[in-house]
């Protein structure tokens, strides 16, 4: 209770806000203006999705930022695609659902959605992001559970991970084990799930991994930071973060309920599945998705600390990691005019294999979903143009070339120039200058 009072005093002195900080793959920094000759070509329409969708002025509004996730799909792009290419009660499919942005935006806009993703984290976060309850959640009930969690010493939970001790100081692991043990001992419902999101936050921040990077990366800097923290009042700091995040999450969910109290649409989600080969559950009226980028596909590795604390086993995580693009072979070689030119320029076999694996499995997943679109339905695919071995790979053009041979028409491509981008300096980055633009490719299914 002492910590709670200290936390409440600190919180009351802070500026009141409901939104969580959104963590992305990048650090803020202005980049030079893109010259005309750097633009893709005259085929694209230059836009700013943030300007086209001014009603969304915070990418983490409502429940979008409940859980940190690398390379989040910004909601302005999704909202624009929904408003332009779908109608109320339409079904939208996203085979690369990630943190569920498409599902949240679909529900807010009174659309239905099917979300699929390799990462099991989707199954844990979507019940909170699209909370279907109709009564406001109680702040006092949540605080009572948090108080009880601090005082409980009867339960312990340790992740089913042989390497867990490598990532934590013993005293921090002991306290986290106590808190997680309490949460697993009580009823598993919305309040306990809210607290889990807070424990995920501190379980990474108080570990030896660089918590601001997407991958697990134990560093000398973080080791020193934890050693210094242990000499201070780290327990109070940890529990203050838990209280603060839990209350923000509860507020975000209550705000979401207020905005959707009369909505009756459906959002179906399934994590831990390979979108390339799963049988699609229904016909849909549109596809809206953002596939993983060519050099940033290891989302299981990025979130495996979360998955272990959420009760998944080493074998489960290992099996899913094997299905990520860097670790699986291509079962067919994709050919388009632009892709073949890129392939011819590469001299390293490992990069050729990476390129072939990426386009094989990305296109397999897209094609699997797009085959279930209704005639005239739009496929809205948001991608960047990454570089591999110094060569720019025009993803939108390659996807357009491939799918126009498969019964789709190329309708439009929008280029959204990136004004600011965050790049981590604590790890080697394949694109140290970042991508200058991102593209929304619009394909249309024909009658055939």
Average pLDDT over residues 86-101: 97
- Comparison of pLDDT for 216 and 159, the residue scoring more: 159
Predicted local confidence at residue 8, as pLDDT: 59
Indicate if 315 and 333 belong to the same structural domain: yes
Indicate if 286 and 378 belong to the same structural domain: yes
Q: Which two tokens stand for residue 43?
A: 């085929």
Indicate if 421 and 313 belong to the same structural domain: yes
Indicate if 334 and 393 belong to the same structural domain: yes
Nearest alpha carbon to residue 106 among 284, 254, 366: 284
Predicted local confidence at residue 384, as pLDDT: 92
Predicted local confidence at residue 294, as pLDDT: 80
Q: Is 264 within a domain?
A: no
Q: Is 141 within a domain?
A: yes
CATH of the domain at 406: 3.40.50.150
Q: Is 1 within a domain?
A: no
Q: Give the model confidence (pLDDT) of 256-281 as tens digits.
A: 999 999 999 999 999 999 999 999 98
- Comparison of pLDDT for 86 and 321, the residue scoring more: 86
Predicted local confidence at residue 295, as pLDDT: 66
Angle 359-363-364 from CA coordinates, rounded to 5°: 115
Q: Give the model confidence (pLDDT) of 12-55 as tens digits.
A: 544 343 333 333 322 323 333 333 334 445 689 999 999 999 99
Over pLDDT 70: what percentage of the chain?
A: 85
Of 159-163, 176-180, 293-297, where does the model show the most confidence? 176-180
Range of the domain at 341: 12-128+274-445
For 113, 272, 284, 314, 362, the CA distances from 365, given in Å and listed in that order, are 16, 14, 15, 26, 5
- Comparison of pLDDT for 297 and 340, the residue scoring more: 340
Pairing type for strands 112-117 and 91-94 reads: parallel
Indicate if 441 and 300 belong to the same structural domain: yes
Pairing type for strands 373-384 and 437-445 reads: antiparallel
Domain's final residue, options 259, 294, 321: 259
Indicate if 44 and 147 belong to the same structural domain: no
Q: How confident is the model at residue 1 (pLDDT cuts 50, 70, 90)?
A: low
Average pLDDT over residues 225-241: 95
Indicate if 116 and 139 belong to the same structural domain: no
The total domain count for the chain is 2
Q: What is d(CA 83, CA 105) in angstroms, rounded to the nearest whole number? A: 10
Q: What is the mean pLDDT of the chain?
A: 87
End-to-end CA distance of the chain: give it in Å, rounded: 66
Predicted local confidence at residue 26, as pLDDT: 27
365 exposed, middle or buried (CB, 10 Å; 0-12, 13-18, 19+)?
buried
Indicate if 293 and 424 belong to the same structural domain: yes
Q: Give the model confidence (pLDDT) of 387-424 as tens digits.
A: 999 999 999 999 999 999 999 999 999 999 876 544 33
Indicate if 324 and 281 belong to the same structural domain: yes
Over pLDDT 90: what percentage of the chain?
A: 76
DSSP tag of 197: H
In the block, residue with structure tokens 């996730």:
69
Indicate if 254 and 289 belong to the same structural domain: no
Q: Give the model confidence (pLDDT) of 282-317 as tens digits.
A: 999 999 999 988 866 678 888 999 999 999 999 999
Average pLDDT over residues 180-197: 97
Nearest alpha carbon to residue 303 among 191, 393, 200: 200
Query: In the predicted model, is pLDDT for residue 374 greater than 60?
Result: yes
Q: Give the model confidence (pLDDT) of 138-151 as tens digits.
A: 999 999 999 999 99
Indicate if 220 and 166 belong to the same structural domain: yes
Indicate if 308 and 434 belong to the same structural domain: yes
Predicted local confidence at residue 66, as pLDDT: 94
Predicted local confidence at residue 5, as pLDDT: 57
Nearest alpha carbon to residue 434 among 71, 99, 7: 71
């Amino acid at each position: 209770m002492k910590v709670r009072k200290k936390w409440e005093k600190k919180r009351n002195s802070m500026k009141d806000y409901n939104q969580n900080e959104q963590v992305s793959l990048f650090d803020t920094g202005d980049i030079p203006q893109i010259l005309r000759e750097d633009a893709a070509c005259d085929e694209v329409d230059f836009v700013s999705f943030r300007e086209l969708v001014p009603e969304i002025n915070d990418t983490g509004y409502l429940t979008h930022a409940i859980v940190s996730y690398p390379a989040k799909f910004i909601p302005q792009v999704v909202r624009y695609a929904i408003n332009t290419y779908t109608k109320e009660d339409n079904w939208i499919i996203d085979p690369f659902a990630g943190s569920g942005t498409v599902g949240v935006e679909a529900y807010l806009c009174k659309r239905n959605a099917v979300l699929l993703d390799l990462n099991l984290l989707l199954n844990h976060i979507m019940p909170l992001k699209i909370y279907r309850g109709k009564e406001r959640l109680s702040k006092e009930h949540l605080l009572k559970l948090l108080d009880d969690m601090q005082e409980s010493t009867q339960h312990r939970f340790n992740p089913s991970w042989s390497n867990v001790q490598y990532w934590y100081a013993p005293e921090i692991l002991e306290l986290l084990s106590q808190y997680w043990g309490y949460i697993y001992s009580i009823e598993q419902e919305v309040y306990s799930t809210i607290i889990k999101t807070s424990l995920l936050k501190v379980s990474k921040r108080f570990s030896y991994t660089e918590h601001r990077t997407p991958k697990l990366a134990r560093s000398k800097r973080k080791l020193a930071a934890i050693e210094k923290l242990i000499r201070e009042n780290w327990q109070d700091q940890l529990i203050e973060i838990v209280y603060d995040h839990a209350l923000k999450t509860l507020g975000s969910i209550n705000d979401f309920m207020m905005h959707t109290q009369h909505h009756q649409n459906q959002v179906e989600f399934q994590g831990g599945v390979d979108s390339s080969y799963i049988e699609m559950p229904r016909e849909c009226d549109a596809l809206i998705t953002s596939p993983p980028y060519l050099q940033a596909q290891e989302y299981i590795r990025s979130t495996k600390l979360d998955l272990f604390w959420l009760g998944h086993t080493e074998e489960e995580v290992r099996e899913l990691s094997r299905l990520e693009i860097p670790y699986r072979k291509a079962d067919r070689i994709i050919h388009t005019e632009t892709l073949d030119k890129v392939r011819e320029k590469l001299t390293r076999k490992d990069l050729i294999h990476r390129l072939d694996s990426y386009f094989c499995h990305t296109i397999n997943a897209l094609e699997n979903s797009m085959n279930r679109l209704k005639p005239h339905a739009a496929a809205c695919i948001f991608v960047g143009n990454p570089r591999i071995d110094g060569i720019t790979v025009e993803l939108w053009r390659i996807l357009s070339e491939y799918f126009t041979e498969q019964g789709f028409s190329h309708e439009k491509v929008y280029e959204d120039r990136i004004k600011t981008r965050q790049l981590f300096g604590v790890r080697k980055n394949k694109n140290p200058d970042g991508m200058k633009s991102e593209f929304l490719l619009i394909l249309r299914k024909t009658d055939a």
